[in-house]
Structure formats: C-alpha cells, structure tokens
Structure 1
Amino acid sequence: MSDVAEDTHLGAATPAARRRRPASRGGLLVGIGLAMLAAMLIVTVFAPLIAPFDPAATSPDSLAGASARHWLGTDQIGRDVLSRLIVGGRTTLMITVSAVAIALVAGLVLGLAAGYCGGFVDETIMRVLDVVFAFPVLLLAIAVVAALGPTVPNLIVTIAIVYTPAMARVVRAPVLSVKRWDHVEAARSIGMSELRLVLRHILPIVASPILVATSLTLSQTIFTVTALSFLGLGPPPPDPNWGGMLSEARQFMELAPLTVIGPAAAIVFATLTFIVLANGLREVLDVGGSR
C-alpha cells in the first residue's frame, strides 16, 4: 500500500514501474527466504547424519564451553548442545509443519464452504470458529495440551485447532468476492457442478493470500510450539526440542550461555525464514496490492 501512496505523490511513475519495483524487491525476498528454508530443511532432514554426537549421550564434561570437540559446549549433564540443537530442530519443525498442514486443510474446507455457500452455512461455521478465535492462541493451546497430555500427536492436533479459525477467515474473505465474478457466474450458468466450479474457478484465484497466510502461520506456530515446550507441555524427554532446551538451560545461562544462545538463535532463524518468505510472496503475488 505504501507503493500506491508514493506513486500518487510523485505522479510520474508508470503502471509498469509500479509493477517492477515490488516484483524486484519481492523476488529478492523470496530468494533469500527459499535459501534460508533450504538450509533449514537440509539440516533437519539429515539431522542424524549431521549431528556429531548422540543427542541423548551424557558425559562427565558438563557445562563445558565451546571447543574443537563440542562447538557449542555441553549442557548440565554433558550432552552436546550442537547435536541436540540439530536433532531438536527436526522435532520442532515436524510438529510445526504437520500442525499448519492440518490447519490449512481444515481452514480451506471451512473457509470455502462458508464463503461460497453463504447464508446459514456461513453464519454457523463462522460463529463456531469465532468461539475458538476469541481465546488467545497460547492460552488456548496450553489449556488443550494440559487436558490431553503433552505428547507429539496431541501437540499437533492442538496447534492445528487453534490456527484453523485464522486460516478459514483468510480463505473465506476473497471467496465472498470471487464467487460473484463474471466468469464464475458464466461457469455456473452452463451447469458446471459446484465442486468443480470451486476447485477450478475459485480456489486458484484465492491461492495467493492463502500461500502468504500459510507462511506467516508457520512463523507463528514455531513460536507457539517452542513456548509450549518451554512451559513443559512439549514432546517429553529424552527427545530434544528447542523450547525444552531453553527451559533446561535457563538455570545455567550465566555459567554456559551457549546453551541458551544456540536454541534461541535457531528459533529466531526459523521464524525469520518464514517471515521473509511471506513478505516476498506478498509483494510478488501482489496480495493486498493495487495492480
């Protein structure tokens, strides 16, 4: 929207110039985001091969500083921090991606149904989702995980539940407008089935905001997963995860600061990856723009 204001003020920018600026900047951001994502995925997928030590193996050398053997030192019971950081990223990202995938599918179904059908269906779906949406995400997640138990499947289901309303809202909003477009009305007039009409003529058009919202939701979900793990509601030991590592290390951060800096930096990097990617996609796809 700032580009629109700038072009209006200068009065000399052509429509082509308005398109080139955000596309160029957005393309750069997408490239950076994809490079960061690729690096994170490589480390995550090949974590058992990359980790120099068994992340659960203990040693008498506790709270040791960085060395040629232990690049990020060791924790309070002598486990290699770098190995736990690499393997812990696999757990954290697996929970994050699985939860967002479920929330995306549920949000697509509910958002498309609400936006396309309208009327009673729209009111019923959105009022039910509003009940969930009214609760703060973290507080609702804490309540559900505490009730179900801190296991990986429960954590995935819980996070999917709390983020589904937001995804459904993102899907519903453009569908309300797109379903009235001329080509959609023309397809309906020739007798195309409702399901085919939605999948072929509506979903591709509303895919851009959904893609951006998914990337942003991934960044938010990483924070939620690590926050729950920090509070003791994440995957149970001995499996490492970034939030659990922070929780364990906070008592010893003055003696061994790398035990805190390592997982904190990993959380920031993962969150920033999806934020950069989302911002780039927003400009490249012109979500909310004026083209």
Structure 2
Amino acid sequence: MQPVLSIFDLGKTYKSGHKALSGVSLDIAKGEIFALLGPNGAGKTTLISIVCGIVMPSEGAVSVAGHDHLRDYRAARAMIGLVPQELHTDAFETVLATVSFSRGLFGKPRDPDFIERLLRDLSLWDKRDAKIMELSGGMKRRVMIAKALSHEPEILFLDEPTAGVDVELRRDMWTMVRSLRERGVTIILTTHYIEEAEEMADRVGVISKGRLILVEEKHALIKKLGRKTLTLNLAEPMEAVPAELGEWRLELAGEGHELVYEFDSQAEATGVPSLLRRMSDLGIGFKDLNTKQSSLEDIFVGLVHNSQAEPPA
C-alpha cells in the first residue's frame, strides 16, 4: 500500500542556529492512527508545522498522497486538517459562520447538511449561533476540530488535542477519532497523555532532540522493549536474598514478605521457570505470584532518557 504521507530526511535549523529537526524520515499509511511522542521542545510541533506548510524546512521533502508539499502546495494542503495546540479563532464570529468559512477557504462548495452533521458529531449544533467568545475552553477546542474537518481532509493532525480539557470531553474526542478512522481518515496526533496513545494508536513514534529515535507498531514495541516484573508473595518472610538466587538479581520488598524479579519479556521462557525451580530446591515457598507488564509510558521515559544521555552527533 502506498503511504498517504511520506517524509524524507526532513530537517529544520532556525536563524539562531537551533536545530529543531534533523534527518526525520517517516511513512504513514492511509487510515492509520499514528502517535508522535516526545518531551517539550523535542520537535513535534515543528514537524507538524512543516508538513502543514506553516514552517519552511531547511532540508528534505514531504509528499502528501503523491503531491510535493512545496511544489504542489494547494493540492497537498487541501488534503490536511490541522488542530493546533493554541486556540486561534475569531472571538466575535458564531460557531456556524466560523466552520462554514473554513470550508470555503479550501474552495469547497457550500454544504449545509455536511456542516450540520459535523457540528452534531462534535456536540456543537446547539451552540451554532453562539459567538466563540461565549464558549468554554472545551467547546472552543471542539470548534477547532470542526474547522479542521470542514473541508473533508484525508489526513488530520491533532497537536495535543486534549490538553486542558475535562475527562468527558476527552472521551468524546476519542470516540470521534475512532469514527474518523473507520471512514478512512489518517490521524497523526501528539499527546502528553501516553495512555491515549497506548489505547488508540496503531504505531508510535518517539522524537527526542529533533531526531526520530524509534517508530514501531505499538504492541510489537511493548513486547520488544517492555519489561515484566514478577512479584512472589513468600510463605515465610526473609531478611536477605539467599546467595544461591544471586543470578536473578532479586529484590526484597514488603518487609521481607515479597521477592521481586524484573526481566526482559523475551527472557520469560527461561528466567522465571528456572527461578521457581531453584526456589523449590532451596525449600523457599510462596503463597501467590503476579506479573506486571511495563507500559508504553515506561518505555517512552526510558527511550528519551537514553537518547538525552547520548552525546550529540
């Protein structure tokens, strides 16, 4: 399948000398939900701004469904909807007028029925005649999404879309994201709420210091880089880990009532059974055990920490 968005060796260096992006290459498939994770200042917004034509790259290229985003700007930009972090809209216009105007900016014919469906999907229809200045922050965020979708784009960028909104609104937004994906819309999001990426994304990219340090299918990433923690609730408490169990690097917890073993997921087939056999040989009993898989957040924090510890190239 041809990617709907291709980014080739993209870089951006500002006049101050700050290198915001370096050598970023990425292909995104049609209908995919791709989560771009990274700390503040990592380059997420710069990358989105370049793809959307807001910032000029220093090097590299972007192709949107075969359209070069510089040589064929109008065709490329018409395929993209952007919901930025900041709330930019005319405070004195009504919701209906704002969204309808955004559709017209892309040369789309008037379609009152489509605009009504869009506003209803975002729970904005009852507010259609309200001025933007009269809306709550969450409702303004909904208006930004409606504006981004008004020209029926094939790719939707969501830059921190749920920052500062309440839990109910966040849930509504993700319901909408799922329905858009079902209609074939490709969604690229940045978020600080890693649990959202873990729940929604097909693939995850991690960016740090302007470099894309990892792109991986979400479940494969957790399986490959994740770690597990085995906790054994001992039948009798211990004062110290026996030397005979030293190779497993166990830790005592729970005032000596728990043995904790942390291991790579791939080592599960050999590490855990051999540990349990050795404990049995030593007469160490346990009442219960449980395992915990590391989360996407655990992996993200580890990747970023390691990348920041590396000397710059």
More helix by share: 1
Bigger radius of gyration among the two? 2
Superposed pair shares fold, TM > 0.5: no
